[in-house]
Amino acid sequence: MHRIVHFDLKGAPLQVQYFEKIQLVQTIGHLEFVLKHPAYHSLRELPRSPAVLCPSKPEALQLVKMMLEQVLDVQLDAAFVHIGADEHINLGS
């Protein structure tokens, strides 16, 4: 049985060898790092907030797929990926 434990290392390298690394890719909330850019403003759930992606827009799915592909291209041995999908309080607003 596997035990999943969350370590928020803020980019620090994992020093313990017996843990499996699972990449976190934010997919709905916490997307300020993307949605703050003018090219992606149209993908916001709320025009005034860069935090949440509007999942009903086809371009939003394309963006999420692109981000996941970029991460998985770097970590070819990934068995799992954490898609975040939390703190989406503004969905449907």
Out of 20, 32, 59, 87, the active site residue is 87
d(CA 51, CA 34) in angstroms, rounded, equals: 9
Number of domains in the chain: 1
**What's the mean pLDDT when you consider all of the chain?**
83
73: domain range?
23-82
pLDDT reading at 9 higher than 70: no
CA atoms within 13 A on the CB side of 57: 17
- To the query of whether residue 87 is one of the catalytic residues in this protein, the response is yes
Q: Is residue 17 part of a domain?
A: no
73-90 per-position pLDDT tens digit: 988 888 888 888 876 666
For the chain, report the end-to-end CA distance as a whole number of angstroms: 40
If one compares 31 and 8, the residue with the highest pLDDT of the two is 31
